[in-house]
Structures are given as C-alpha cells and as structure tokens.
Structure 1
Amino acid sequence: MEPLVLKGLRVIDFSWVMAGPMATKMLGALGAEIIKIESTTRPEFASRGGWFSVINNNKKSCTINIRTEEGQNAIRQLVAQSDVVVENFSSRVLKKYGLTFDDLKIINPRLIYVSASGVGRTGPQADYLAYGTLLQSYSGRVNLVGTPNRYLEAMGISPAWTDPITAFWEVFAILGALQHRRRTGTGSYIDLSMLESTVALLPETLLRTALGGPMMPAGGDAEIGSAPSGCYRCRGDDSWIAISVRSDDEWHALCGRMGRVDLVGEAANSDAARRWRNRASLNSAVAQWTLTQDTRKIERELQSVGVPASRSRSINDLLVDQHLKQRAVFTSLPGGQRTIALPWADRDMWRGNLTPSPELGGDNDYVFGELLGYDREERERLVEEGVIQ
C-alpha cells in the first residue's frame, strides 16, 4: 500500500484519556500531522508514562491556555489552517470558549469536527458523566460477561474495551468525512457516542433478545453456537487450552484425538444443534480429557487435524513468540523504546509511521513560530502572560 496516505492532513487534537488519543495515533501512523493541545496546569497531561506513550505516538505537543482570549485566538488561527478537530470535553467546555463546530466552521468551512462523548451530544442523557468502564455497564456488555469476573479483573476492566472500540469508529468516521469533503468541498460535524460504539458490537445478542430468544448466562467463555467450546485446564501449572467446535468434521476429529469415537455415534451429538443443547455434557467430557494432556502438544495435534484450538498464552509468551517476532509486531522507536506496531502490514511488512510520544509543549516553537508566525519576542510575552503554558 502507499505509505503515509494521509500526509498533508493536519489534525488538532484536544482529546485525552484513551479513545481520542488512540484514534489520532492511528491517523498519525498513516501520515497525518497531529498537534496535541495540552496544558501544564492539568495533571492528566503531566504524566508521560507507559500508558501515555503507547497511545500518543506520532504527535506534536503544544501547550495553550484555552481559558485566555489570546489562547482561544491562537487555536482559531490553527484551526483555520487545519483539516480535523478531535475533542472529548463535556458539552459545556468548548461552547464556553467559542470553539464549537458552529463557531469554527465560519473560519474553516472545510473543517471536519469530531465531538466524542459518553452517550452523544443529544438526548435526555446528553450530560451523562462516564468513562469507558461505566459505559461497558450501560451498554449491557458487563451483564453479558458477568461481574464479578476473575477474567475481567485480571485484564482491568480497564483496559476498558469501550475506549479502543470508540477509537476505531472515530477513525472510520473521519475517513468517511474526508471522502465526503473530497466530493463536495464541505466539512462535517460528527457526534460520536462511546455508548453506541459499544452497543454496535452486540447486534446478534440484541436481535436474539428482541425476538424473544434466551439470554445467555453471564460469565461464560463458550462461543455461542459452538459445542463443545470453552477454555479447559490442562496438565501442569495454570495451563489452559481454548477449543471451539462448530462443524461435524471438527467434531469427528476432536473425538478421534480424544479417543472417544463413541461420542460420535450418540444421537444427542449427531449435529451442531443437538451438540449445542448437549453442551454441558460435552464440555465436561472435553475437560476431563484435557486435564491429562500437555497444552502445547494437543494444540499442535488438534490444529493438525483441523480442530480450532489455542493454548492460553501469557504476556511473557507473547514477547518471545516466534510468529509475532517474524511479523515484526514488536518494534523499536528512535531512542530505544519498545512498542507494539499496528496490527496490519503490507507486502513489504510496512506497519505505519510510528514516532515516540511528544514531550509536553515540546513543539511550541514549531506551532507558534512556524505555523502561526509569532516572532520570538511575541512568544516570550505569551509565555510570561501564561498563554503559552
């Protein structure tokens, strides 16, 4: 693919926490120039640790006091020569400073403005205060997964899946708006809801429930419609393997490897629908077998006979995994920082543009000097007056 397909695109990034920064990181990986608007007085911007560094690659950092009139004017000048604005403030913040889409489209009619919020900018709950973890509950996802749940607790529930899911929808919407602008010459306003981003991934569950179908019990690890299916303990210390059987061929191969061809001939297991109804008994039989097996060995053997199976790997396992190593999943940035590459590659194994996360205010001279044309004396005055923080 053509590297840096978004080169020449400038994005003004007001976003913080995770969803917005992840989205702009992906845009930057495709060549867009990302200018992150920050403040030295906000504690969330002061931390530049590991969490910040992996979601804020490919960006420049500019510190502007948005509460000052000159700071607001500087932002307007930036927006006038930019393509996209991304923000996830509460609905009152940018309205108070005259930096809404309706304000800014006057100075830049081609502007694409993404306003991300918990539940959307309209509706009776428009001012609902929530982060991703809370919205997982609102969306019904936690009800499906189950809580308390030791598997979720082991992962966080932060990483809140709502945030990265929203980031992907955000990039998708921006790319669509860019195509619209290319055809019409006009910008767009995008009202992005984190709640709806999560609900959008539950269509099968919503449809089944709306049609009066049964609710699945919370907390299971089985794949709906697959039986046997689950994550089963193997021989050894905390060794597990995931197995999921859908087709008759997979079922016959699994029974052969288990030495339980007797199960194939039982009427209760004669097709996928019957196996699903009989899943408790089948899962029990598989679990008894895997307890005596080495997880690496049966992963290889089941895969070789066409049964979907994968051992549960630890993070340490991933770091030395030869498949991931060959595909250059883990990469080094300038300065030696190790990070995760983007999860796609072209035929030359190009995985996007990745640069280290920026120092707080590290690009102030570029933004105020080169882009806005302020001379050094003017920049020094703005620093003294707290406009440049």
Structure 2
Amino acid sequence: MAVSAFSQEGSSLPLAGVRVVDMAEGKAEMCGRYLADLGAEVIRVEPPGGAASRFREPVVNGVSLYFATRNAGKRGIVLDLEKVDDRARLLRLLETADIFLETERPGALDELGLGARTLRESLPSLVVVSISDFGQTGPYRDWVATNWTHLAMGGVLSRSGMPGRPPLMPPGGLAYESAAVQAAWAALLAYTNRLDTGRGDHVDCSVYEMTAQSLDPGFGIGGSATGGRPPYEGPRGRPRPGLLYPIFPCADGHVRICLLSKRQWRGMFGWLGEPAEFADPEFDKLHVRFKAAERLYGLIGRFFAERGKEELLADGQRLGVPIAALLTPADVLQSEHFLARGGLADAEIAPGLRGRVPTGYAEINGVRAGFRHRAPSVGEHTAEVLTGEAPADEASSASAWIPAGTERRRPLEGLRVLDLGVIVVGAELGRLFADQGAEVIKVENKAFPDGSRQSTSGAEISPSFAWGHRNKVSLGLNLRSSEGVELFKRLVAESDVVLSNFKPGTLESLGLGYEVLKQVNPRLVMADSSALGSSGPWSRRMGYGPLVRASAGLTGLWRDLGVDNGFCDGVTIYPDHIAGRVGAVAVLALLIARRRSDRGGTVSVSQAETILTQMSDDFLRESLEPGSFRPRGNTGEWDAPQGVYACAGDDEWCAVTVRDDADWRALCSAIERPDLLEDVRLAGSAGRVAHRALVDEALGSWTAARPPRAVMTGLQAAGVPAGMMQRVVEYLDDPQLRARDFFRELDQPGLAAPLPTENAPATFQGLADPELRPAPRMGEHTREVCAKVLGLSDAEIESLLASGVLEEPA
C-alpha cells in the first residue's frame, strides 16, 4: 500500500518503534488509530471473518466507514482466540509488544487465559489498556452502553437542548471518540512509566468516566459562559443556548457572533451605525447587554438579514467583531482552508473506494501526523506479522504483578513545563501534565490576564479556575518587555516544554517563536493550539469555541428541528477539553522520541480539525453520499427504538438504544410486551425503523410510568443499553463513580468549602493519583521560580518587580 502524500512517513514520527497490539472493537477504536498516526506500529487483531465493526453502519459499497476511518494506518491479522494455537500466537505477539489495547467485556479475556493479571505475570513490561463502558469494577461493571447512553449519563444531555423542550442528543459519536483520546493519553503515561521503571501496567479505562471528564465536564474548567461558576450551581433545566453566542439568519444562511469584551462590543456598535438607544457606556458591560438582549439582537438580526455570509465575515473581521458562518458538512468538505492545510484529503479508504476524509488530529514538526494508508483487509498482514515476530526492545526484571503497597509514582516528575495557555484548552493541557508530576509554571501578566480568572463573583480564583490550574505555580512576567523576553529565554534553557494557545503568530511577534527558542534549547518540545490551525486562509480569524463549532459544521448539526433557530450548542465547551488531550498525547509522544534523538520538536493542534477527526466517518459518508450528514435530533438512523424517552417526574429522561435483534427481544421482555415480538413487521431492524412510531409509543408509555433510574436499572438488568439523563449535581451520589474513587476533594484558599474534583484519567496500578495542590494566585510563585530556576538574587528580583518586568500578588 502506498504511503499517502499528505502524511509523514512512519519512521519520522515520534512513536516509531513502539508496537501496539490492538483488539479494540466497537468502542474507542480511534485510540489505536491516533497512536498509529503518531508513528506506532499498530497491529489490529480480528477474528475469522473480520471484526464486528467491519459491518457497522454506515456501510457504502460493502465498506463500513466507521471501520475504515478508525483503523486507517494499522496492519491487520486474524486470530481465532477460541483455538489454543491462536491464543499461543497472540501471546508470542504480545511478547514483542509495548502496549495491548482491548475492549472485551470485563472478565471475558480471563476466561480465555488472556486476562490482564495473567498477561502481566508472564509479560511484566507490557502495558495492558482495558477500555470498557463502565470499568473493570463497580456496580455498573457488567452494564452495556452506547454513545447515547454515555452522553445521557455523562452529564452532556442534561445541558443540551432548548428550554422547555426535550433534551437534544448531540450529533456524532462524541462520547466514544473523546474517550479514545483520553485512553491514548493514559496508555502513553503508563508506557512512559515503563520506560523509567521497566514495569508495565494494567490501565483500566471507563468510557463513562472519561466522558464525564473530557467531553463537557461538570467538574472541569468552563468557558466564558459559566462565569467561573460550577455547573451544579446552575439552573436545573436547560439554559437558553443562544444568549451568549447568538446566531442570526442572513441572506444565504446563518452567522454567529461573540461579543464578550468592551472592544468587541464597540466594533459591533460602530458597525450598526452607533444607534442612540445603545450609546450609553453602560452597554460596554456584558451583563447590561444581556438584559437588553431582545432589543439588541433584534436590531442586529434586521441588520444582518439582507447581507450574505461572506460580506458579514469580511466586515466583522475588519471591525474586530468575532463572527463565523454556520457551515454545512458539504461546505466544510469544499473549504479552501481545510483543504489547503491538509486537514481534509481525498484518499483510498478501501480497495476500489475513495472519498474525502479528515486526515488526523495533529501536526508534528509542521507536517500532518495522520492518515497514511487505508485500513487493512481481513487478515491482510497475518503472515508477515506472525512470521516476523522479534523480541521486545526492552526486557524487564520487575515483579510481574505489582503487589499492594508497592510504591507508585507520577511518570512526568522531573519535567518542567512553561504554560502560556489561557481559557479552557490552554488550562487543560497544562493541568494534564501537572497532575502527572511535571513542574508546570503558569506564565501570566496582569495587563493581559487569563480570561478564566474572571468570574461573576469578582474573585481571582473560582471553582472553574481551580479545576483548570490545580497543581501549577504562577510566575508573573511581562513578555512585552525586552527584559521579560530575555528572562523567558533563560527559563526555556532550563525547561522541557512550552505550551501556548494564542492566535497564530503571537509568540513570533514577541521574538519567542520556535525557531528562536530551539536555538536556546534544542531539546525543547513546543506545542500550540488554535481555533482553526496555525496556517491556512482562516488561521488569523478570531477564534472562540462557538465560532470553531460553527466553522466545522457542528453547530448546524446540533439543532432542534422542532423550533425556529433551534441551535443547541451554545452551552457546551466542546472541543476544548478534547483538544487539550489531543495536544497532551502528541507532546508526550515527542518527549518519548526525545529519549532516542535528544531533539525536541513542535506540536500544532487545530480545534476545528479535532471536531472533523472525531466525526470522520460522517464527513466521509457525506463525500460519498451528499446530504447524508444532517441533523437527526433524537432519532437513531439504523434501528428502533433509539431515542430519549420521558420518565416519571419533572423533566426526567432516559436514553434507550436497541442495537440489534437480541436487544429488541430483551427489551420486549423487560417491558412485558410479548405481542411486539410476535409482530412480524418488527422482526428486523428495517421493520422497526419503518414502524418507529409504534415501537416508540410502546416504550414511551412504559418509561413514562417509572422514574429514570428505575427505567435504567430495569432495562440494564435485561441487557438493554439504557442511561438516565444525569445532571452534574447527581454525579456526587452516583454509586459507580463513588465505588471507583472518581472524586477527591481539593482545598482551595478563598473557597468556602473543599471542592469536589476529578481524580485520575484512568485507574492504574503503577501510577500515583494526582497531587492536589491548589491553583495559584497570579504571580504567587514569582520569587520562588526566579530564585530556584534562574538563580536570581533577592536584590535582582526586587529590581525587576519595581520595574514591572516581574509581578507578584498585591
């Protein structure tokens, strides 16, 4: 198979030389794909006849677009694990591997003699990553789930939709795709620890927990819409999604604006012709404009209505008004920006089938680390892989199974990270490293404060800020002074990583671009994240999450079609947390490569392309079947019943998704409707879809008489995927999360009570839980950092403080 011209050769990528055996099936298959994109040799193991996901819809010309996009870049072999000889072959293959990914139901591999404990006893350096819906332990361990049930239970559904209407399922497979990225992060953390200690690990990844942590987290840093308040302090119902980031019809579609700062409002005010009714300087304040939103948005709507998208975008950019057009998937596929950047490309995705496909998450050293070749045919590489086995590079004399009481460690201890990140994605990327032991120095300046320090209470540190910046230290440094730039370069000489998420070109304008800094420290790894990428025609556009979602086609898909202007993504902060994890995985991959090369490099992440990659199969299908990627609300496309059903109580709901005939039989038994089983019209998925109203009415009448938890537990007892719509405040008493130590408490000075906060990204044997040090005040550690890292004397520090180059709290 030819290597695609739009991606790096595998040997030049950071994970070259890492071997991954991949048995992920039907959930989080993008985990192995991302590791392959970063250069790992990923060997996909399938049963005879092929993996079940090869038959997963959407299927075009006999090709599952899900399988094709999630398994590109991998090699494929067939093993029948029911046979003793093939189990032995798998064990020999694992002897050569570094990481083993599996998604079997908990306990299934134990029955075959291939469970994590058995593998770790015989292969003590192997990192075993088990990705299951609810984890290997806890009362929900044996429950079944789908993307929709995770979105319901993970707190996303409760905040999606229009006030007073049913909650709305977001489009795409966001729960499993987000979990896949976090699983890749957990896998590389365990592998990094292996490189230092010789010990492998068993990494227990729960999709439920990873959804709650990474997609739209209730206990993580929030964006501007939260005002620093935790979600559990918000209204019980769904908030109005269009208040902060309004959307307006225009002559040829819709546009969205973000008027957050005084400067942005002044640009809009001038654009409107300075109307007298909004001339009062009080309208410079966001909360005052909110109170007048009906009048103000009416005026803007009338002004925009007769103008086209391109005209509005050009004028808005010129006047400093953050604005974006709501693109359709078809628009995205034809976008000059994503095509110029290589974020989309035409490729062979299966023998004889070509389509336009998102190419991957990240750029490494300025080149796309993504789609290199199509997914393998069934067993395509069986002979060459199984005859070409070689011993693993590193042997380990560590104990096979880490016993209770063995010292656990944080694998990133000893790393120093300079964190220039702001708001959500910047905060998350630095926090992920701080949690794992890195010394993360948040470099900030009072003249250009991090927007996440702003809160409705006026406090410098809100719960949101504490979640995003725990375990960091703060250095107050003015980078717009020549002395500040020189001090930063001195810090770079003593550091390993620099993180930023400014508008592209900002660091270069300060004289702190990578080409400059690598002369100071050739081992430096430097990462940037931006809305639309660091290159391309749109790279300098103002970027906020809502504008990113509009430009990537997501806003138009996340729409309640039952009401006018029913766009429902205005409350979410997706994809910020995911983009932070995408960057963390790539940075850690470069740090792993640096052990061999002694050279650093660059990582660049586009938030928009994070969205595209997580919806790869949908965009690919749109390229092959125009018009197929469109809003579908709460109606599943491939079987029925699949939806969100009202339960007893006020605004209570449960997501139920019948996947196949077995689920259908189990559902009919659970709701005591044997007559439905006898109805020949409903005997297959096509018949159930054709008679969706009938099956929805039957299930809906049953759920309406029961509270949501009873619906969920009753259907789960029968083996039917069901998940109640869980609100963030309900997490704290969730029996599964409590049983698995999902929460800990953070003592943050200035907050009245200990703050519930998430624990680790997965359950590890050899990795310690994150330390929980409070988030810093601005400049709180300036003196400490300057003395410890730079060796400055007290007199030098005092002089720099007096001149404003350094800053500390008042």
Short-chain TM bin: over 0.9
Find the counterpart in structure 1 of residue 442 from structure 2.
36
Find the counterpart in structure 1 of residue 770 from structure 2.
352
Distance in 2 (CA, whole Å) between partners of 1:201 and 1:331 is 30
CA contact (8 A) 2:473 2:776 kept: yes
Query: 1:310 Cα shift?
Result: 1.9
Q: Does 1:175 align with 2:581?
A: no
**Which of 776, 782, 798 is equivalent to 1:364?**
782
Find the counterpart in structure 1 of residue 409 from structure 2.
3
Distance in 2 (CA, whole Å) between partners of 1:78 and 1:348 is 31
Q: Does 1:303 align with 2:721?
A: no
**Which of 529, 551, 573 is equivalent to 1:138?**
551
SS in 1 for 2:588: helix
Distance 1:357 1:65, change over 3 A: same
Query: 1:213 Cα shift?
Result: 5.9
Of 73-82 and 286-295, the range deviating more from structure 2: 286-295
Q: List aligned pairs for 1:66-81, cutoff 5 A.
A: 66-81=479-494
Find the counterpart in structure 2 of residue 238 from structure 1.
651
CA contact (8 A) 2:484 2:806 kept: yes
CA contact (8 A) 2:621 2:629 kept: no
Distance 1:205 1:284, change over 3 A: farther
Of 72-81 and 34-43, the range deviating more from structure 2: 34-43
**Which of 381, 405, 430 is equivalent to 1:24?**
430
CA contact (8 A) 1:149 1:219 kept: no
Query: 1:147 Cα shift?
Result: 5.7
Distance in 2 (CA, whole Å) between partners of 1:217 and 1:91 is 32
CA contact (8 A) 1:3 1:352 kept: no
TM-score normalized by structure 2? 0.46
Distance 1:248 1:154, change over 3 A: same
Letter in 1 for 2:758: I
Letter in 2 for 1:19: V
Query: 1:216 Cα shift?
Result: 5.3
Query: 1:264 Cα shift?
Result: 2.1
Letter in 1 for 2:698: A
Q: List aligned pairs for 1:319-330, cutoff 5 A.
A: 319-330=732-743
Find the counterpart in structure 2 of residue 195 from structure 1.
608
Distance 1:312 1:57, change over 3 A: same
Query: 1:155 Cα shift?
Result: 8.8
Of 326-335 and 110-119, the range deviating more from structure 2: 326-335
CA deviation profile, 1:232-251 (whole Å, cap 9, x unmatched): 00122222111111021110
Distance 1:155 1:283, change over 3 A: same
Distance in 1 (CA, whole Å) between partners of 2:439 and 2:491 is 12
CA contact (8 A) 1:133 1:162 kept: no
Q: List aligned pairs for 1:131-280, cutoff 5 A.
A: 131-146=544-559, 157-212=570-625, 214-215=627-628, 217-218=630-631, 220-280=633-693
SS in 2 for 1:313: coil
Distance in 2 (CA, whole Å) between partners of 1:225 and 1:10 is 49
Query: 1:281 Cα shift?
Result: 3.5
SS in 2 for 1:106: helix
Q: List aligned pairs for 1:73-92, cutoff 5 A.
A: 73-92=486-505
SS in 2 for 1:231: strand
Distance 1:154 1:237, change over 3 A: farther
Distance in 1 (CA, whole Å) between partners of 2:468 and 2:619 is 31
CA deviation profile, 1:101-155 (whole Å, cap 9, x unmatched): 01100111111111211111111112111111211111111222116899xx999
Distance 1:154 1:303, change over 3 A: farther
**Which of 712, 720, 731 is equivalent to 1:318?**
731
Letter in 1 for 2:699: V
**Which of 510, 513, 520 is equivalent to 1:107?**
520
SS in 2 for 1:293: coil
Distance in 1 (CA, whole Å) between partners of 2:760 and 2:561 is 32
Distance in 1 (CA, whole Å) between partners of 2:740 and 2:729 is 17
CA contact (8 A) 2:558 2:569 kept: no
Q: Does 1:14 align with 2:427?
A: no
Query: 1:295 Cα shift?
Result: 2.7
Distance in 1 (CA, whole Å) between partners of 2:621 and 2:785 is 52
Letter in 1 for 2:684: D
CA contact (8 A) 1:63 1:364 kept: yes
Distance 1:191 1:216, change over 3 A: closer
Find the counterpart in structure 1 of residue 392 from structure 2.
none
CA contact (8 A) 1:12 1:82 kept: yes
Distance 1:142 1:90, change over 3 A: same
Distance in 2 (CA, whole Å) between partners of 1:212 and 1:155 is 26
Distance in 1 (CA, whole Å) between partners of 2:709 and 2:747 is 36
SS in 1 for 2:806: coil
SS in 1 for 2:519: coil
Identity of aligned residues (%): 30
CA contact (8 A) 1:244 1:308 kept: yes
Query: 1:75 Cα shift?
Result: 0.2
Q: Which structure 1 segments of 5+ residues have no match? A: none
CA contact (8 A) 1:88 1:115 kept: yes
Distance in 1 (CA, whole Å) between partners of 2:770 and 2:524 is 25
Of 336-345 and 243-252, the range deviating more from structure 2: 336-345
CA contact (8 A) 1:332 1:339 kept: yes
Find the counterpart in structure 1 of residue 278 from structure 2.
none
CA contact (8 A) 2:470 2:775 kept: yes
Find the counterpart in structure 2 of residue 382 from structure 1.
800
Query: 1:285 Cα shift?
Result: 2.7
Query: 1:190 Cα shift?
Result: 1.5
Distance in 1 (CA, whole Å) between partners of 2:802 and 2:716 is 66
SS in 2 for 1:168: helix
Query: 1:196 Cα shift?
Result: 0.6
Letter in 1 for 2:778: L
Find the counterpart in structure 1 of residue 509 from structure 2.
96
SS in 1 for 2:423: coil
Distance 1:60 1:223, change over 3 A: farther
Distance 1:330 1:108, change over 3 A: same
CA deviation profile, 1:247-281 (whole Å, cap 9, x unmatched): 21110111122232222233332223433344344
Q: What is the aligned residue count?
A: 387
SS in 2 for 1:115: strand
CA contact (8 A) 1:84 1:112 kept: yes
CA contact (8 A) 1:90 1:127 kept: yes
Distance 1:295 1:118, change over 3 A: closer
Distance in 2 (CA, whole Å) between partners of 1:290 and 1:156 is 27
Distance in 2 (CA, whole Å) between partners of 1:221 and 1:213 is 21
Distance 1:9 1:350, change over 3 A: closer
Of 6-15 and 215-224, the range deviating more from structure 2: 215-224
Distance in 1 (CA, whole Å) between partners of 2:509 and 2:422 is 19
Distance in 1 (CA, whole Å) between partners of 2:758 and 2:438 is 19
Distance in 2 (CA, whole Å) between partners of 1:133 and 1:164 is 14
Of 193-202 and 264-273, the range deviating more from structure 2: 264-273
CA deviation profile, 1:282-323 (whole Å, cap 9, x unmatched): 223322332223333232221111111122222332222232
